Amino acid sequence: MKTNARASGGFVSRLWALVKKETRQLLRDQSNLLIGIGLPIALIFIFGYGVTLDVKDIKLAVVTTQPSEQTEEVVSAIRLSQYFKPTIMTSFQQAEKALRARDVEAIAVFDDSFAADLAAGQADVQLIVLGSDATRASSIRTYFSSLIGTWAQKQADRHNVSTAGKGVTVIPRIWFNDANTSTWFIVPGLIVLIMTLVGTFLTALVMAREWERGTLEALFVTPVRPTEIILAKIIPYFFVGIIGLVLCVLASTFLFHVPIHGSFFILVVGSVIYMLVALAIGLLISAKTRNQFLASQMAILVSFLPAMMLSGFVFDLGNLPTAVKLIGLLLPATYFIELLRTVFLAGNFWPIILKDLALLTLYAVVLLGLARMLTKKTLD
């Protein structure tokens, strides 16, 4: 087979030799595997279980200065809810102290006249949350309001006060996330993160290392072509990225039960193209810096952090000021996240899929072309 390859002009056999070399180096250096395989697995667990916007175990101080049948009922309703862990307190001072000491996260105050007001048909519950943990606070507020609302509804029904059931009611239908959990939208984002990590960070380092260690000088003075050097770097790391992808898809399907509504084929095609984009960015960075420290800093600054913060991974691009949004729209990661979320959660919506695929392909072609142009066999 080797002789055949040689007959076809040397390109294949040289490329094959370089790919073999890269793969061996990749497999022998444990720190590569740590980043390429170990970190993705750790991230899957951290993201799948640790990083969640879904609230649980809300430690709530319930202040009832004048316990009554009604307050008892509310409290037991709170206690029954899966979200709250209430503690009964008799004075507001005590509750406030607990809040400041972070022993509780919110205070619900039922004041002296609660029972009386309720009988009169107009009672207030005061809820105090910590704005300094705004993400959680706003969820607490929503859950608490709906809990009280449900309870009040039941009360009203029981007393046949049919004020209820009138007026506009909203039936929310949240599509594409039946379980309404943030894991579903974070896990596709995780794929982007891991592929950026392997593609950009690792490749930038590996190529910069060759410059630093001077291994390229001897390599350059052989029949090898710059394209072959680039391709040989791309191919093994491409597969490491694909391993990351497979791990993520397996984890999302079997551990987190995230559905894949769209075409699996599109998922693979999109990932392949994005992997090329990430690799090209890594090659570009290392071609420019030729130094491992700078390369790693650049990789973090231009690809990794923006992919996390500005691509819609966590924070929706639509909510951002226009200037910042434009930066987000320049990132290839943005389109890959959009594509992944659509394919995973929504299904085959072709206009979006085609737009994203087209843009990613464009990025891949342009960036790979640039990387090829900047990789010259010269020490100047």
Partner 1 sequence: MTQIKQYFQFIFNLCQKEFLTVLKDPSSRIILILPIIMQSILFGYAATFDLKEVPYAVLDQSNSQASHDVLQKLKGAGLFNQVATLHGSNEVADVIGNQEALMVVYFPADFADKLQQDQASPLQLIVDGRNSATANAVVGSFNAITLAYNASTDVGSQLPITVKSRAWFNPNMETRWIIMPGMIAALSMIQTMMLTALSVAREREQGTFDQLLVTPSLPSQILISKAVPSIFIGLIQSTLVFLICRFWFDIPFQGNLFVLYLGLFLFTLASVGIGLSISAVSLNMQQAMLYTFVLLMPLMLLSGYATPLANMPDVMQNMTYVNPLRFSISIVRRVYLEGATLADVYTEMLPLILIAVVTLPVASWLFRHRTS
Partner 2 sequence: MTSAVVQAEALNKVFINKQKKEQVVALASLDMCVKKGELTALVGPDGAGKTTLLRLIAGLMTPTQGRLSVLDIDMYAHPQQVQNLISYMPQRFGLYEDLSVQENLDLYADLHGVPADERHSRYQRLLTMTNLADFTARPAGKLSGGMKQKLGLACTLVRSPQLLLLDEPTVGVDPLSRQELWKIILQLVEEESLTVIVSTAYLDEAARCQQVHLLHEGKILVSGSPDTLTQRAQNQCYLFTPNPEQKPRELQSALLDKSDLVVDAVPQGGRVRCVLHPNNTIEDVTKDIPYNKVEPVVPSLEDAFMMSLKEHMPLQSVSVEKLKKDHKAKPDASSPIVSVKQLVKTFGDFTAVAKTSFDVYPGEIFGLLGPNGAGKTTTFRMLCGLLPATSGVLSVAGKNLRTARADARGRIGYVSQKFALYGNLTVYENLRFFAGTYNLWGKQRKAAIERVSEQFDLASHLKDKSGELPGGYKQRLAMAASLMHQPDILFLDEPTSGADPLARRAFWRRITALSQTGTAIIITTHFMEEAEYCDKILIQDAGEKLAMGTPEEIRADLADTGGEVMSMEETFINIIAVNRRKKQERSDED
**Among residues 242, 329, 346, 365, the one that binds partner 1 under rule CB under 8 A:** 346
- Residue 145: CB minimum distance to partner 1, A: 5
The type of residue at 15 is L
**Exposed / middle / buried, residue 212 (Cβ in 10 Å: 0-12, 13-18, 19+):** middle
- Residue 22: CB minimum distance to partner 2, A: 10
Does 34 interact with partner 1 (rule: CB under 8 A)?
yes
- Residue 370: CB minimum distance to partner 1, A: 22
Does 210 interact with partner 2 (rule: CB under 8 A)?
yes
CA trace torsion 284, 287, 289, 295 (10° rounding) = 50
- Residue 349: CB minimum distance to partner 2, A: 47
Residue 183 and residue 189: Cα distance in Å, rounded?
10
- Find the binding residues for partner 1 in span 39-58 (CB under 8 A): 39, 42-43, 46-47, 49-58
Tell me the two tokens of residue 40. Answer: 């993705």
Does 219 interact with partner 2 (rule: CB under 8 A)?
yes
Interface segment toward partner 1; rule CB under 8 A; list 11-19, 174-182, 249-257, 263-271: 174-182
**Among residues 17, 130, 242, 294, the one that binds partner 2 under rule CB under 8 A:** 17
For 71, 102, 213, the CA distances from 79, given in Å and listed in that order, are 12, 20, 64
**Among residues 115, 300, 329, 365, the one that binds partner 1 under rule CB under 8 A:** 300
Interface segment toward partner 2; rule CB under 8 A; list 8-16, 200-208, 253-261, 276-284: 8-16
- Find the binding residues for partner 1 in span 304-343 (CB under 8 A): 305, 309-310, 312, 314-316, 318-321, 323-324, 327-328, 338, 341-342
Does 105 interact with partner 1 (rule: CB under 8 A)?
yes
* Cβ–Cβ under 8 Å, residues 216 and 12: no
> Closer CB to partner 1, residue 13 or residue 263?
263
Residue 87 binding result from partner 2, partner 1, none, given CB thresholds of 5 to 8 Å by partner type: none
For 77, 155, 163, 265, the CA distances from 151, given in Å and listed in that order, are 7, 6, 14, 48
**Exposed / middle / buried, residue 236 (Cβ in 10 Å: 0-12, 13-18, 19+):** buried
Residue 206 and residue 364: Cα distance in Å, rounded?
20
* Cβ–Cβ under 8 Å, residues 61 and 98: yes
- Residue 5: CB minimum distance to partner 1, A: 33
Does 118 interact with partner 1 (rule: CB under 8 A)?
yes
Local structure of 59: helix, strand or coil: strand
Please report, as ranges, the residues that interact with partner 2 according to CB under 8 A: 2-3, 6, 10, 13-14, 16-18, 20-21, 24-25, 28-29, 210, 213-225, 377-380
